[in-house]
Structure 1
Amino acid sequence: MGNPSPVGEGSSFDGSDDFGETDYSTVNNEFSVFLLAKSDTFPISARTFNMGDPVNAKNAWGLKVGDGEIGFGVADGSDASFANISNVSGWVACVCKAKAGDYTSIKDWNGNTSFNDSAVDFTTAPTYPLCVGKRSDFGQYQNCDVAMAAYWSRTLTDSETDSLLDTTARRVSYL
């Protein structure tokens, strides 16, 4: 998984062959993801943190950071839902939440939010693993730094989200 780096710097992914992967492939009818990452450029089809089969838009979710944007989406094979925050740069921390048939949302550590009502049903287990630094279904790698990535099989409360983002913002000077 990426190149080892000193404590506080996270992992660097070179955009050509570095990535992290786990065989965790369970998606509940709701989930949350957290990412603390930095990327200046973003290949159009890459994902910073993702799981599933985005090529066929089946039971997938993806989170990207780069080109001044945070983008989060879920897909179920027939429909997709996206939330985006623009005008971001440097290190970015965000919490993304999705609830099947209800919504997709992002909140970053500056208090910016994006919310999308959605009828997407993504409850079937994905056919590809959970990945960091590359798209899970094929080798589209991203040049990025990732200090932390986390997945919860429930939606975090607003209080948990705010606490996580506040704690992260106070520690950014260590990166």
Structure 2
Amino acid sequence: GPRRARRTYVDSRLVPSPSLFDTLDQAEHTRKQRIIWKVTSELSMRSFEPGMNSQVDIFLSELLKSAQKGEAVDVSPRFSRLAADVISSLGFGIPLHTQTEETNRPLLDAFTEVSSRIGLYMNRPATAKLLAWLAHKASEDFRKSTQSTRSRLEWHWEKMRSTTCTN
């Protein structure tokens, strides 16, 4: 029923407290949305432009290196890494360096997995039957998968923090 679906939804969060995107409280969502608007204002975005240009330069440099080796290049994963580095720099002030280092690339898979789940919840009621099935038939597997993803993300974030703090 609704309680089980809500529990599954709450259990799928990466952190115990709700974020802007998964809070169920409208007033809390509005408060957090105002904070986001300040960060994404035109002035704020203009101040971030040099950082974004730097990430695009890295992208083009890595693409050029591959081209000079005569390698066929699948740009789709490279664009994903570019996006991750831009978003992490803008959102957290810490680039993940996924374009140039393999260390944090597993985070991209975890983000994709989590995004799929979030998409299910954001498209309710269209996905209500699927969510009910997940909650009833596969809830244990779903919870284990969510906990595994959460653990991987926490491990990577902690590793990133310790690396950043020591530099």
Normalised TM-score (structure 1) = 0.24
- Name whichever structure is richer in helix by fraction: 2
Q: Which has the larger radius of gyration?
A: 2
Greater RCO between the two (CA within 8 Å, min separation 6)? 1
